[in-house]
Amino acid sequence: MVASAGANAGIATTQALESQGWFDTFTITSSTPSIPKGTAVTLNITVTYSGKIFLTTSGLSNVYMQFLDYNSGTSPVPLQIAAPGISLSSLDGTTTTSATLQVHTGDVVQLGARMNTQVLAAVGGFLNSEASIGAADSLLPLSNPDFTFTVNIDPIQPCISYTTASQTTYFSGLSPLPCSGPPTCAQIVAKPAVETATGFGETPTTDIPEGALPIEIGAQFKPNFGYTLKQAAAICGFDHFNFQQVVTGYSGALPATCASQHPTVPTLDPPPSGWEYQGCDNSYPYYYGQLDLASGPIPSSCPLPATGSGDPSVVQSDSALTFCDGPVNPGITSGVDSFWTALVGVNAAGQPVGAPTPNNATLTPLWVMTWTDSFNGMAAGGIMGPFLSGIFSAPPPDPTTGTGGIVILNSGAPLVGDVNGDGVVNCADLAVVKASFGKKLGQAGFDPRADVNFDGVVNIIDLSTVARALPAGSVCD
Amino acid sequence: MSKIIQLAVCVAAFTLVGSLANAQAVLSVDPTTQTTSTGNIVTVDVNISNVSDLYGYQFDLAFNPSVLQAISSSEGPFLATGGSTFFIPGTNDNLGGTVFATADTLLTAVSGVSGSGELAVFTFDAVGPGTSAVTIQNETLLDSALNFISDTATGGSVSVKSSTIAAPEIDPASATSALTLLLGGLAVVCGRRERLARSHAR
C-alpha cells in the first residue's frame, strides 16, 4: 500500500502506485441512533488515473481499473458495485471514472483497486492477467514509471460516515454531509436519481413500442436508507404503503359488469375500499395482474423480481412494494387509455391518503408514473372471463392479438403542473390546459393530462394549479 | 362596564359586522343597463369589487343571442396588477348565447390581488331589437392558495332599438325654428290665396 495522502484535516485522498494496487477496510457508521443498523448506504467511488501508458498489443486489448476486492464483511447482503471499472486503450494524462456501491450501516467491507489487463495473445485466445497486483505493469512496459490513481469515497446520505483500518479518509474534499436529524419521509420515499431495474421505479424504464414484449408494466418501491416498509410508513405517518392506479382516460365504454363500481373516469383502481374488487377487477379490462402474494406467485412474465414473501396485497418483502399490470383493452379503436400509477400512503382505515372517494381522485402521490396504453389486443388464451377465477391464472397480454404499446409519460416524484410529463413546468404545460379548457370528460378535446385534479373537467383550478407552479419570472402568451 | 370597554366592544362589533359584510367578493356587469341601436357595437365590462387575494377566475357570460352577438373578449387591467397573467378569452356560443369559460390567472407563486377593478371586457354586436340580460354564470374565484373565494354576481342588461325606422332627432330649438318657418310659410301661402281671390273678384 502506498497511500500518500494524509488524514490530518479529516479530509484526504489516497494515491497508490499502479504496480501495487490499493485496498482498505471500511466500517460504515452513522452519527445518529435514529438511523438503525442495516440502513442502506450508497457510496460514491471516484477513481482518477494519472500517467502515461500505451498498449503495444493489437486487437481486443484493454487496460481497466478493477475494484479489487470488495466483500460482504458483516453485510447481511452481498455487495453490488455498479460500473466496476473503466476500459482504457491508452492513457496520457488523467482520466476519471466513478461507481456506486451499496453498503449498510454497521458493515465492515474491504475495498480495493488495481490495474488489470486483458490482452489478446498471438494465438488468438485471451490471456487474463487478473491474478496478481502489478501484473499490468509487467505486461505494460511502456507504462513505466508507474502511473498513479487516486480514490475518493463519499457516502451520499447525511449522518453517514466511515472509518478505515488505515485511519485514512477518502473524502473527495467534501465533508460528510451534516447530520441534521433522521431522514424525513420525503427523503425516505424520494426516488433515487439512478433508477435500477430492481430498485425504486418503473419497469420497464422505457416505452413499450408496438410489437415489443412483454406488454406489462410494473412499479416497485424500496424505501431509502434501508428502512423497511413498516419503518418508513411509521415515519411518514401512514399505516402502510400501496400502489394506486388512477384511470385518467378511457377510450371506450366501461363494461356493464363493473359500471356500478367504475362508474366513470377518472377513477381510482383499485378502489380505496380494498385491493380486490370482488372479482370485478379481473373483468375490468385492465387489471388482472396486480400482484397479490396472498393469492399466488408473481407471473413469470412479469419483469419484476419474484423473491421474498411478506404481507398480503402487493407487499413483496419487508422492504419492497411491487406492482405489476398487463393492460389489455380490446375495445381500443383509436386513441389511448391513460393512467397514473401512484405510490400512496394508506391510513389505518385502509384509505389512500388524499383520496376520499373513488371518483374524486385527489390523490397525494409520493411517486407517480404516468403512462398511456394503446394495446388493443387480448390476454393470451382468450377473453377476460376465464380470468375471474384467479388473478394469477391470467396469462399476459398476447401481442399477436392486437397492436399498440405503452408510453411512459413521466416517472418520479410528482411534479405539480408538469402536465405534459417532460420534467419541467413551463408554458407548454399551460398550453395543454388551455387547449382543453372548459372541456369535460367525454367531450371531444378533453385531455386527461390537463385535468390536474382529476375532477373530470378542465377549469380554472387546473389552470391556476399549473400557473402557480411556473418558475418565477415566467411569462406565457 | 367602563366607557373604554364599551367603546372597545362597539368597535369590535362593528369590525366583526364589517368583516362579515365584506366576506364576499362581488362580480358585476358594468354598465348595469345601456341602450343602443341595432348595428352598433356595445361593450360590457365585468368588474369585481371587495375581493381579497384573487389569483384566478373563470365565469360564463350569458346573453340573448337574438339581441346580441358576442364578438370578442379581452382582459381587464385588475388581475394584471398582481403580475404576469394568462388570459383565456372564452368561447363564443352565439347560438346558445354564452361566452363560455372566460378565465384568467396570475402566473407563478405570487400573491393574489385585492380590491376592486375590471376583470374583462366583452364586445357585442347589437343585432336585433329587444332587451338582453347579461348574466354572469358559473363563476369561480380562486385565491393564491387555490382555495375558493365566495362571491355574489349581479348581471345587467342591454336594450337595443331598431335603427331602420328611427325617428329623426329634433331638439327643442330646432323644433321651434321649424315651427316658425312652417307657420310663416302657411301665412305666405294663405296671403297669396287671399290676394288671388281678391284679384279674381275684381
Domain boundary among A388, A414, A440: A414
- Tell me, what's the pLDDT at A164? 86
Q: pLDDT band for position A77 (50/70/90)?
A: very low
Query: Number of structural domains, chain A?
Result: 3
Helices (H), chain B: 3-21, 172-201
Q: pLDDT band for position B45 (50/70/90)?
A: very high
| B138: region left, alpha or beta (phi > 0 left; psi from -120 to 50 alpha) | left
DSSP, collapsed to helix, strand or coil, labels residue B181 as helix
Instruction: Quote the CA–CA distance of A384 and A379 in Å, as a whole number.
Output: 7
Helices (H), A22-153: 135-139
Q: Which residue has the higher pLDDT, A325 or A474?
A: A474
**Within a domain: residue A100?**
yes
Chain A CB contacts of B137 under 8 Å are: none
The distance of A363 to chain B (nearest Cα, Å) reads 17
**Average pLDDT of chain A to the nearest whole number:** 63
State the average pLDDT over residues A336-350: 77
Instruction: Quote the CA–CA distance of B45 and B31 in Å, as a whole number.
Output: 7
- Tell me, what's the pLDDT at A15? 56
Statement to judge: residues A165 and A230 lie in one domain: no
Q: pLDDT band for position A16 (50/70/90)?
A: low
Statement to judge: residues A259 and A364 lie in one domain: yes
- pTM comes to 0.49
How many C-alpha atoms does A51 have within 13 Å on its Cβ side? 23
* Inter-residue contact A413 to A367 (CB < 8 Å): yes
Say yes or no to pLDDT of A292 above 60. Answer: no
Mark yes or no for CB contact A461/B107 under 8 Å.
Answer: no
Which of the residue ranges A83-92, A197-206, A397-406 has the most confident prediction, judged by mean pLDDT?
Answer: A397-406
Mark yes or no for CB contact B103/A463 under 8 Å.
Answer: yes
Mark yes or no for CB contact B84/A476 under 8 Å.
Answer: yes
**pLDDT above 70 as % of chain A:** 45
Chain B CB contacts of A426 under 8 Å are: none
Enter the DSSP assignment of A194.
S
Place of cell 405534459: A420
State the average pLDDT over residues A377-399: 48
* Inter-residue contact A363 to A344 (CB < 8 Å): yes
Instruction: Quote the CA–CA distance of A358 and A262 in Å, as a whole number.
Output: 8
Which of B91, B142, B144 is opposite residue A461, by nearest beta carbon? B142
Cα nearest neighbour of A417 on chain B:
B108
**Within a domain: residue A291?**
yes
Q: pLDDT band for position A411 (50/70/90)?
A: low
* Inter-residue contact A153 to A170 (CB < 8 Å): yes
**Interchain CB contact of B142 with A (< 8 Å):** yes
Which of the residue ranges A182-191, A315-324, B155-164 has the most confident prediction, judged by mean pLDDT?
Answer: B155-164
C-alpha distances in Å from residue B60, one per residue of A143, A280, B120: 79, 41, 11
Is residue B43 packed enough to be buried (19+ CB in 10 Å), middle (13-18) or exposed (0-12)? middle
Mark yes or no for CB contact B108/A434 under 8 Å.
Answer: no
Instruction: Quote the CA–CA distance of A423 and A410 in Å, as a whole number.
Output: 7
A304 C-beta neighbours (distance < 10 Å), count = 20
C-alpha distances in Å from residue B31, one per residue of B34, B37, B70, B176: 6, 16, 17, 35
Statement to judge: residues A201 and A151 lie in one domain: no
**Interchain CB contact of A464 with B (< 8 Å):** yes
Q: Which residue has the higher pLDDT, A186 or B57?
A: B57
Statement to judge: residues A283 and A405 lie in one domain: yes
Which of the residue ranges A79-83, A128-132, A384-388, B89-93 has the most confident prediction, judged by mean pLDDT?
Answer: B89-93
State the average pLDDT over residues A27-43: 74
Say yes or no to pLDDT of A268 above 60. Answer: yes
Which of B100, B101, B142 is opposite residue A464, by nearest beta carbon? B142
- Tell me, what's the pLDDT at B95? 96
State the average pLDDT over residues A200-215: 70
Mark yes or no for CB contact B146/A465 under 8 Å.
Answer: yes
Say yes or no to pLDDT of B197 above 50. Answer: no
Q: Which residue has the higher pLDDT, A221 or B114?
A: B114
Where does A31-147 show beta strands of DSSP type E? 40-54, 62-67, 80-81, 87-88, 90-104, 108-120, 126-128
Statement to judge: residues A429 and A388 lie in one domain: no
Burial A250-281 (b: 16+ CB within 10 A, else e): bbeebeeebeebbeebbbbbbbbeebbbeebb
**pLDDT above 90 as % of chain A:** 7
Place of cell 373563470: B58
Q: Which residue has the higher pLDDT, B187 or A52?
A: A52
Mark yes or no for CB contact A437/B84 under 8 Å.
Answer: no
- Tell me, what's the pLDDT at A454? 62
Q: Which residue has the higher pLDDT, A33 or A129?
A: A33
Instruction: Kindly state the cell numbers that stand for A262.
Output: 367504475
List the single range of A119-133, A339-353, B59-73, B77-91 with lowest mean pLDDT.
A119-133
- Tell me, what's the pLDDT at A374? 84
Domain boundary among A163, A182, A201: A182
State the average pLDDT over residues B56-72: 97
Question: Could you give phi then psi for residue A329, rounded to 5 degrees?
Answer: -145, 90
Interface test with A, best of B73, B108, B144, B149 (most A CBs within 10 A): B108
Statement to judge: residues A323 and A280 lie in one domain: yes
Statement to judge: residues A204 and A293 lie in one domain: yes
**Interchain CB contact of B56 with A (< 8 Å):** yes
Statement to judge: residues A200 and A177 lie in one domain: no
Say yes or no to pLDDT of A312 above 60. Answer: no
Beta-carbon contacts of B167 under 8 Å, excluding residues fewer than 6 positions away, are none
Statement to judge: residues A162 and A282 lie in one domain: no
State the average pLDDT over residues B135-152: 93
Instruction: Quote the CA–CA distance of A475 and A472 in Å, as a whole number.
Output: 9
Cα nearest neighbour of A464 on chain B:
B105
Which of the residue ranges A352-361, A436-445, B118-127 has the most confident prediction, judged by mean pLDDT?
Answer: B118-127
Mark yes or no for CB contact A475/B84 under 8 Å.
Answer: yes
Q: What is the pLDDT of residues A131-174, one digit of tens each?
A: 233 334 444 444 445 566 677 788 877 778 888 888 887 877 55
Mark yes or no for CB contact A476/B100 under 8 Å.
Answer: no
Say yes or no to pLDDT of A297 above 50. Answer: no
Cα nearest neighbour of A438 on chain B:
B101
Burial A380-400 (b: 16+ CB within 10 A, else e): beeebeebbeebbebbbbbbe
Which of A460, A461, A471 is opposite residue B108, by nearest beta carbon? A471
Statement to judge: residues A40 and A175 lie in one domain: yes
Torsion sign over Cα A457, A461, A463, A469: negative
Mark yes or no for CB contact B108/A472 under 8 Å.
Answer: yes
**Within a domain: residue A4?**
no
Q: Which residue has the higher pLDDT, B44 or A65?
A: B44
Chain B CB contacts of A465 under 8 Å are: 146
Mark yes or no for CB contact A434/B88 under 8 Å.
Answer: yes
Segments making up each domain of chain B, as ranges: 24-161
The distance of A457 to chain B (nearest Cα, Å) reads 12
Interface test with B, best of A464, A465, A466, A474 (most B CBs within 10 A): A464
Chain A CB contacts of B59 under 8 Å are: none
* Inter-residue contact A105 to A28 (CB < 8 Å): yes
Q: pLDDT band for position A352 (50/70/90)?
A: low
Say yes or no to pLDDT of A125 above 50. Answer: no
Chain A CB contacts of B144 under 8 Å are: 468
State the average pLDDT over residues B117-140: 97
**Within a domain: residue A401?**
yes
Cα nearest neighbour of B101 on chain A:
A438
Which of the residue ranges A213-217, A233-237, B184-188 has the most confident prediction, judged by mean pLDDT?
Answer: A233-237
Statement to judge: residues A196 and A343 lie in one domain: yes
Q: Longest Cα pair distance anywhere in chain B, in angstroms?
A: 111
Which of A437, A460, A470 is opposite residue B140, by nearest beta carbon? A460
Instruction: Kindly state the cell numbers that stand for A71.
Output: 466483500
**Within a domain: residue A3?**
no
Chain A CB contacts of B86 under 8 Å are: 430, 434, 463, 467, 476
Instruction: Quote the CA–CA distance of A389 and A393 in Å, as a whole number.
Output: 8
Instruction: Quote the CA–CA distance of B86 and B55 in Å, as a whole number.
Output: 11
Instruction: Quote the CA–CA distance of A155 and A169 in Å, as a whole number.
Output: 12
Domain span at residue A141? 14-182
- Tell me, what's the pLDDT at A27? 86
Q: Which residue has the higher pLDDT, A415 or A444?
A: A444
Which of B56, B103, B108 is opposite residue A474, by nearest beta carbon? B108
**Within a domain: residue A174?**
yes
Chain A CB contacts of B106 under 8 Å are: 464, 467-468
Place of cell 377513477: A267
Beta-carbon contacts of A169 under 8 Å, excluding residues fewer than 6 positions away, are A7, A10, A11, A12, A162
Mark yes or no for CB contact B56/A474 under 8 Å.
Answer: no
Say yes or no to pLDDT of B84 above 50. Answer: yes
Statement to judge: residues A250 and A267 lie in one domain: yes
**Within a domain: residue A1?**
no
* Inter-residue contact A388 to A283 (CB < 8 Å): yes
* Inter-residue contact A267 to A363 (CB < 8 Å): no
Q: pLDDT band for position A63 (50/70/90)?
A: very low
Q: Which residue has the higher pLDDT, B5 or A97?
A: A97
Q: pLDDT band for position A257 (50/70/90)?
A: low
Mark yes or no for CB contact A464/B55 under 8 Å.
Answer: yes
| 1.10.150.120, 2.60.40.680, 3.60.21.10, 3.30.590.20: CATH of B24-161 | 2.60.40.680
Which of the residue ranges A1-5, A129-133, A300-304, A327-331 has the most confident prediction, judged by mean pLDDT?
Answer: A327-331
Chain B CB contacts of A435 under 8 Å are: none
List the single range of A186-200, A412-426, A438-452 with lowest mean pLDDT.
A186-200
* Inter-residue contact A246 to A363 (CB < 8 Å): yes
Taking CA A311 as the corner, what is the angle to CA A234 and CA A76, rounded to the nearest 5 degrees?
75
- Tell me, what's the pLDDT at A41? 80
Mark yes or no for CB contact B91/A438 under 8 Å.
Answer: yes
Q: What CATH number did the domain enclosing A449 receive?
A: 1.10.1330.10
Say yes or no to pLDDT of A397 above 80. Answer: no
Say yes or no to pLDDT of A288 above 60. Answer: no
Instruction: Quote the CA–CA distance of A285 and A17 in Å, as a whole number.
Output: 63
**Interchain CB contact of B106 with A (< 8 Å):** yes
Looking at the predicted complex, does its ipTM rise above 0.95? no
Domain boundary among A182, A211, A246: A182
- Tell me, what's the pLDDT at A284? 30
Mark yes or no for CB contact B100/A438 under 8 Å.
Answer: yes
Enter the DSSP assignment of A234.
H
- Tell me, what's the pLDDT at B191? 46
Peptide bond into B31 cis (omega under 30): yes
**Interchain CB contact of A476 with B (< 8 Å):** yes
Q: What is the pLDDT of residues A416-426, one digit of tens each?
A: 787 776 667 89
**Interchain CB contact of B108 with A (< 8 Å):** yes
State the average pLDDT over residues B72-87: 97
**Within a domain: residue A6?**
no
- Tell me, what's the pLDDT at B121? 98
β-partners of residue B130 are: B160
Instruction: Quote the CA–CA distance of A356 and B77 in Å, as a whole number.
Output: 39
Which of A463, A464, A474 is opposite residue B84, by nearest beta carbon? A474
- Tell me, what's the pLDDT at A313? 30
Taking CA A424 as the corner, what is the angle to CA A446 and CA A339, rounded to the nearest 5 degrees?
40
* Inter-residue contact A466 to A452 (CB < 8 Å): yes
* Inter-residue contact A214 to A292 (CB < 8 Å): no
